[in-house]
């Protein structure tokens, strides 16, 4: 299949085993690594390798947002820092506002993990290419992978804990010499750290918003005193995905708002805070498929901020993804292909591919781009483990871009696996649908 309008040559999805042994009709054995959203915190704690600690102090064995997403501890932190706790949320006017943790945050601890419907849809797509072996990425994953010994692993596991959590499954696969799909451990850890990613982009002269990284209230005060960045700013936890910790409350209009926002994020997410100069232009997200010279950008998805509730900030954050966009009242947030002229489209595709290769992405990725005041495309974030919700109403951008390119959901998943197999000199044998 070829999508002529975007110059994407898609690999054929039918392959035979390169070196079949025994029965020539033997199907490829595909390990399927994933994290399923827990039904309760008790279920989640049961998946941890060690018991969870108390809610005080830092515990590297917990997800950065584990158990703290409502921000209760931030109230104490703000008070001890001598900062105001009054709040004006959603005010996009010129008035100065302070921020308070007493306004609850949505519980985003499991936002990166996948629901059973997504896991079933991916399994169904993979089963057209071989025998699928479910390998949920829980604490006993290494033993089950060693026992199963699949020919290749399709990886969509976001990890259990720690700053390298997205790299755990690929690293274990490499240790056991099992081929897998997607980016390698280094790229996954690098891309999860927004500051390190931006440093890499700067090294390659790839546009990205000016930024500072703060690990303490003292460092935030130093940034404020030195006037290092131009307001307005936007603050983010440095190592979260799926818009965790990215809310309207993080928009910083002037110096009076800087410290309360930083203190709250430091306390809630227990990790450094990235401060970026706010980019005022349009935003896009770009799916990429393939490797090397064959890597191509799928039709660009444009973000429609005019679909947000009245008075909302023009950001596609946690509220827009997980709160305001509901089955009963869906947000029409996207247009794909984005209605932009060829010159801008080419500029976005160029900077997207430059970032894809600079960070070392493989097989697929989703890259967020936003225009600065001069209309120059800047890289906002790189997602080597892109969201792949199967229901079009869920507004998952990579499947939406693939559909605009003429790919079904199943073909998108299969394309990733085939690209990974080809990259590693493997061939995939089709077989009857199956699972173990």
The percentage of the chain sitting over the pLDDT mark of 90, rounded to a whole number, equals 62
- Per-residue pLDDT of 66-108, as tens digits, reads 333 334 444 444 554 555 443 333 333 333 333 333 333 445 4
- Per-residue pLDDT of 207-224, as tens digits, reads 999 999 999 999 999 999
- Per-residue pLDDT of 254-282, as tens digits, reads 999 999 999 999 999 899 999 999 999 99
pLDDT at 49 (0 to 100) = 44
Look over the chain and give the mean of its residue pLDDT values, rounded to a whole number: 81
- Per-residue pLDDT of 306-348, as tens digits, reads 988 888 888 888 788 777 877 777 788 899 999 999 999 999 9
pLDDT at 59 (0 to 100) = 36
User: pTM of the prediction?
Assistant: 0.80
Residue 436 pLDDT greater than 70, yes or no: no
Handedness of CA 103, 107, 108, 109 (dihedral sign): positive
pLDDT at 29 (0 to 100) = 96
Q: What structural domains does the chain harbor?
A: 2-37+111-195+281-435 (3.30.470.20), 41-109+210-277 (3.30.1490.20)
């Amino acid at each position: 299949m070829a999508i002529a309008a975007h110059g994407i040559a898609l690999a054929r999805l039918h392959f035979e085993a390169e070196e079949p042994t025994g029965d020539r009709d033997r199907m490829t054995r595909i390990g399927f690594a994933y994290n399923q959203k827990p039904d309760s915190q008790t279920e989640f704690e049961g998946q941890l390798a060690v018991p969870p600690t108390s809610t005080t102090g830092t515990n590297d064995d917990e997800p950065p947002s584990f158990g703290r997403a409502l921000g209760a501890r931030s109230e104490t932190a703000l008070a001890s820092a001598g900062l105001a706790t009054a709040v004006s949320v959603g005010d996009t006017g010129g008035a100065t506002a302070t921020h308070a943790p007493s306004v609850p945050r949505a519980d985003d601890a499991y936002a990166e993990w996948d629901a059973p419907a997504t896991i079933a849809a991916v399994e169904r797509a993979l089963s057209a290419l071989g025998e699928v072996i479910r390998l949920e990425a829980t604490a006993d994953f290494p033993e089950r992978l060693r026992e199963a010994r699949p020919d290749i692993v399709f990886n969509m596991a976001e990890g259990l804990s720690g700053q390298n959590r997205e790299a755990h499954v690929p690293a274990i696969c490499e240790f056991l010499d099992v081929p897998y799909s997607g980016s390698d451990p280094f790229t996954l850890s690098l891309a999860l750290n927004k500051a390190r990613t931006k440093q890499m982009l700067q090294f390659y002269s790839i546009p990205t918003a000016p930024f500072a990284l703060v690990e303490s209230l003292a460092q935030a005060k130093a940034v404020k005193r030195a006037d290092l960045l131009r307001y307005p700013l936007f603050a983010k936890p440095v190592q979260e995905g799926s818009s965790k910790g990215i809310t309207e409350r993080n928009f910083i209009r002037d110096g009076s708002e800087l410290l309360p926002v930083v203190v709250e994020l430091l306390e809630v997410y227990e990790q450094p805070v990235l401060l970026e100069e706010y980019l005022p232009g349009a935003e896009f997200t770009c799916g990429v498929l393939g490797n090397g010279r064959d890597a191509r950008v799928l039709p660009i998805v444009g973000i429609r901020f005019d679909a947000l509730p009245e008075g909302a900030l023009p950001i596609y954050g946690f509220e827009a993804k997980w709160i305001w966009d509901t089955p009963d009242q869906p947000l029409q947030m996207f247009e794909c292909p984005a209605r932009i002229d060829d010159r801008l489209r080419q500029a976005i595709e160029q900077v997207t591919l430059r970032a894809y290769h600079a960070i070392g992405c493989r097989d697929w990725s989703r890259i967020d781009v936003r225009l600065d005041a001069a209309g120059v495309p800047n890289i906002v974030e790189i997602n080597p483990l892109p969201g792949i919700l199967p229901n079009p109403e869920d507004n998952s951008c990579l499947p939406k871009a693939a559909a605009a390119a003429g790919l079904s959901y199943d073909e998108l998943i299969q394309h990733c696996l085939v690209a990974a197999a080809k990259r590693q000199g493997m061939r995939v044998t089709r077989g009857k649908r199956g699972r173990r």
